[in-house]
Chain A
């Protein structure tokens, strides 16, 4: 009978706070979501025999380790020169990604099932991104394992070209994503060559992968880095 005050106090368990996460959730998400998604696409190391997305996906799982170096160019609308940085990366199917920035400053990153970590003097520090982390890792791992369905839910995927030279274009589906960026272009041959991220506001980031090779296994040091 009584619609008890106590009960409604208990109901407070849930109250309006759910609404509080709206903009904050969005911020969190944008802050750390996109980059790993893009990097996950490394997995598309295309030894693709046709132009079929499925075939491209099927090839993802094949190379277990890819080593290479990268050049990252950040084109900011207001800067005449892009911000250029260089380094090396290791993508290991079963472990994740090591992203080692060398110049102009040194900084190591790691993406794994545990989330994004950054190395400082005390070792790997997992970045606090509790809320967005789970989702982005899910997506990341889905891609690593050759499951493009995760990506297809959020993006329109268009594959052009041939196995030795292809281009994958990702166009965001949701209004939300469209407000942030226009398009992601991935070029590749046997392996991924470059990833270009075009933001809606005019800035863009280009990642060029060079000397990628799937020949070497993980070194001890790399295994150690993934293990921590």
Chain B
């Protein structure tokens, strides 16, 4: 037939075109991404919130914090110095810092400039309300041999405002400055820990950098151990590195394992080397999936690759459809076998695509990508199975092994025997009872932590670093918006008062807000005015010999200090901690963040923001967990909708009753899987639900196979068994993933496949079910 020559040529032309497109897409290297933020729901419609979040996240993805610990302080410093030099030389970092050379002139200049704007509320109130006490304390400080030392010499600051600002700076953590080396050191567990900080040139989502940093760290650990020192490290980069290593490991395991298993199965069943060509549709499917993904999203995520590698098992089903006909169709010829199974194949493609594409409508970019990858991959696999493979297999005389058929026949007999004794209706009741019991025990659990497959050692180290340094930043922060800077500072102060209460109750370790750095313009003005009253109270200073002229000059100078706004206050080294908090002018107003430390109860935060205008809590973690829970419901709705669509599609070939039956079986299988999760004590997560969503799509295929019964029930059962086995080989292996989300997915798909296979025979016409 002409189509037997035309189709392969057409397909090869298409394949060449797709290959060319792939080549163009990969011209700058692999368009892969490892940024997990792309995969979680980005339902932040607010650009400002997004910007704030990125600002808070940025250091995480670029900085690494290392503690070098040694019982001997000097040794710790020495090792830190060596590592610092090594890291600097590595070229991976734009900045490596293990010691501090403070810029004192800049500090002094900032303190002098900020005498009105940076004076803490307590000191400000004393100067305004109790000038006598204020002067008295200053006199005391001048004599005090212990705390009287100030960065700014007395003659530049007779009133001692800079000293007060110095002492009121919020202090956090347990890290101190080592006087001789300038190193930052914390003492804990009988060791001195020198802090080493490095900032990488790229971020954690670079594909190479995290691995390079992790390697460097490992080498540094070895080096430190030689000197008897211990390293503790924490960084988003390390999670990225471990994630990437894990991903490539799992792609190898899942992909490799599935491939080997399927090839072995093909060889054992069909006993012809050329039957391994059935793997061509798999490769073509992968190619189509990747190209479609990159074309639509600009790149492909590594997670798509991991989950997508399970497509192998589904793609190989198409050739299996007609290969398995060789048990009944003798002599087997490729093109006739294809023609016989083409309607079933096409239906199977349509139903699978509907199932996969239903995933695309969940608010998870991760699943959208997987859906596109899979749907395009299936189309590719289908096309190559229909157009190319029969040509490749032309002339192959398939004489499959008989033992699989014997197994299938025995299974069929067992089933018939069972049905003779126990009618289907009774079985259904039992199954439903099983389901009810399992569902009763099913717990739902959704937590972002399911996405984390981070090794416990990384977490422990990060916790140790937090404990030793005393820094425990939280992921939540407040976003404060206002019309102008004055209003912004007022709003921050209002929130600050509430946070202060949490700090006093030990619910919060501390917080950082711009209003701690700079006083309101009105407050600066109050100080200026209060200075007028000071001459009446400064006699004690005159008694010490301070020239009255010097004091008068100082007051005049203070009053002439310009009112500092946020931008001015952020200049200078003291403002460093606050700098990231300022978002500047946005949307005709201004905005800033308030960061938090050491939070014990996140639920308390939401309450703090209540009824404060312009104040918003940004709690990405909590928000995501809520989205997870909400998505479960929409996922279930999607599942039902996709079933409805499939029913519509199947009415044409099978009639309404048949279509309903074919769709009801996968649904029942999904229900049984849910119940099994319950019986097994496994939680229902969003991911298990997604898995079941997928199973519905795949197992409709089995029901169709069993319904059509080309070549008799046993042959159809064998075809279903092979298809289920190959699919299970790839999805089942996902259950071994160390990422809870992925393994959960794998488990539910495995369960779903098992039940689908068991239930599929009931898709047959009434007479078979009797």
Contacts and interface: CB of A to CB of B under 8 A. Distances in A.
Interface stretch (B101-109, B281-289, B693-701): B101-109
A12 B101 CA distance: 26
A13 B149 CA distance: 34
A13 B65 CA distance: 10
Interface string A25-63: 111111111111001000000000000000000000000
A121 interface: no
A224 interface: no
B243 A1 contact: yes
Contact of A134 (B147, B187, B546, B621): B187
B606 interface: no
B101 A25 contact: no
B469 A18 contact: yes
Contacts of B452: 2, 4, 6-7, 10
B203 to A, nearest CB: 10
Interface string B414-457: 00000000000000000000000000000000001101111000
Which of B197, B473, B574, B739 has the most A CB atoms < 10 Å from its CB?
B473
Contacts of B74: 153
Interface string B464-482: 0110010111110000000
Contact of A116 (B146, B182, B250): B146
Interface string A134-167: 1100010000000000000110000000000000
B235 interface: yes
Contacts of B146: 32, 35-36, 99, 109, 111, 116, 118, 127
A134 B176 contact: yes
Contacts of B150: 31
A5 B153 contact: no
Contact of A9 (B100, B147, B621): B621
Nearest to B180: A154
A21 B239 contact: no
Contact of B107 (A26, A74, A99, A174): A26
A81 B465 contact: no
Interface of A: 1-36, 39, 72, 74, 76-81, 83, 85, 99, 101, 104-105, 107, 109, 111, 116, 118, 127, 130-132, 134-135, 139, 153-154, 173-177, 179-180, 199, 201-203, 205, 207
A2 B243 contact: yes
A192 to B, nearest CB: 15
Contact of B453 (A4, A23, A29, A139): A4
Contacts of A76: 153-155
B240 A3 contact: yes
Contact of A131 (B100, B174, B597): B174
Interface of B: 34-37, 39-40, 56-57, 59-61, 63, 65, 74, 97, 100-102, 104, 107, 139-140, 142-151, 153-155, 163, 166-167, 169-182, 184-185, 187, 195, 197, 204-205, 210, 234-236, 238-240, 243-244, 246-247, 250, 302-303, 306, 448-449, 451-454, 458-459, 462-463, 465-466, 469, 471-475, 512, 544-547, 550, 573-574, 576-577, 580, 597, 620-621, 624, 737, 739, 741-742
A101 to B, nearest CB: 6
A25 B204 contact: no
B451 A2 contact: yes
A7 B149 contact: no
Nearest to B303: A2
Given A23-B576, A202-B153, A17 B172 contact: yes
B175 A21 contact: yes
B187 A17 contact: no
B149 A30 contact: yes
Which of A19, A28, A76 has the most B CB atoms < 10 Å from its CB?
A19
Contacts of B234: 11, 13-14
Contacts of B576: 19-20, 22-23
Contacts of A19: 97, 197, 576-577
Given A4-B239, A27-B107, 18 more contacts: A1-B243, A5-B37, A5-B448, A9-B60, A9-B620, A11-B462, A13-B465, A17-B173, A20-B576, A22-B100, A27-B151, A30-B149, A31-B147, A31-B166, A35-B146, A35-B148, A174-B180, A176-B179
A15 B59 contact: yes
17 contacts: A1-B243, A1-B739, A2-B247, A3-B205, A4-B739, A15-B473, A18-B184, A22-B576, A23-B576, A25-B184, A31-B166, A79-B546, A83-B544, A83-B545, A105-B140, A154-B180, A205-B145
A96 B34 CA distance: 58
Contacts of A23: 102, 107, 573-574, 576
Nearest to B737: A1
Contacts of A6: 448-449, 451-452, 621
Contacts of B39: 2
Given A1-B742, A22-B576, A34-B149, A8 B100 contact: no
B243 A16 contact: no
Contacts of A17: 172-173, 471, 473, 577, 597
A72 B143 contact: yes
Contacts of B169: 24, 27-28
B534 to A, nearest CB: 18
Contacts of B573: 22-23
B185 to A, nearest CB: 8
Contact of A85 (B143, B185, B458, B473): B143
